[in-house]
Structure 1
Amino acid sequence: MLARRLYRCSEDVKVTLFKAYCQNMYSGNLWTSYTKKSLDTLRVQYNNVFRMLLGLPRFCSASAMFAEYQVDGFAAIIRKKTTSLIFRARGSPNSILQTLADRIILLLLNSNC
C-alpha cells in the first residue's frame, strides 16, 4: 500500500522515509535471545520492503542495492546499535557498567581470533 501511495515520490524521498521508519529498530542492540532463523526472517523482510518501495526486481542483490542507495543493511544496523550500546556503557560513570562493557569487548575480541 505504501509503495503505491509513494509511487510518484522521488527516490531520495523514498530512501529518506525508509531510513526514518525502517531503520529505527527500537532496542535492536539487545536482541540477543532471538534465534538465527527469526533474525534472518526479519532481515529478508527488511530487504523486501526496500525493494518494493523503490520498485526494484525481487531477486536483485541486497548488498548492491543498499550500496547503490547508500543505506545500511540489516546486519550493519544491528552492529552499529550494539557497538553504540557497549561504548555508552563503557563511558558511563557507573563502574559496574564499565566492567561489563570491558568484558563484553574482551569476549568479542577473543571470539574473532
Structure 2
Amino acid sequence: MTTPQHEHADAAASEAAQPTDAGTKKRTKKRSTLDLPIEMNRELRRWCTRAALEADVNAVPMNTLMQVLLELLLDGEPKSEPLRDEELQDRLHRAVLRGVIRVQDAGRDS
C-alpha cells in the first residue's frame, strides 16, 4: 500500500529526474538541518579543523563532511578510488543501523 508521503516522494524524485530544456537533469539541493548534541558538534568541528590542516586547505565545512559521509553511506566508494572492502562496508552498514535504532529508542524514552 502506498501512503501519501510515498506518493509525494516518488513524484518529487520523478520530477527531479526529468530532463530540462538543455537535456540535462535538473540539479537542485534540499537543505536539511541536523540537530546535534553540543559535544558532538564540537567534536565534528575539531575533526573538520584537523582535516583542513591535513588536506592543506583553509577549511573543511561541516556540510561538505556530511555530504561526503552520506554519499559514502548511500553509494559506497567511488570506482576510481576503491577502498572498498566488503567486510568494512557491511560493518559500517550494521553500525549505522544500530545507531539509528539507538537514537530512535532514546527518543521514545524521553
**Fold in common (TM above 0.5):** no
Q: Whose helix fraction is larger, Structure 1's or Structure 2's?
A: 1
Q: Which has the bigger relative contact order, CA under 8 A and spacing at least 6?
A: 1
Larger Rg: 2
When normalised by structure 1's length, the TM-score is 0.29
When normalised by structure 2's length, the TM-score is 0.29
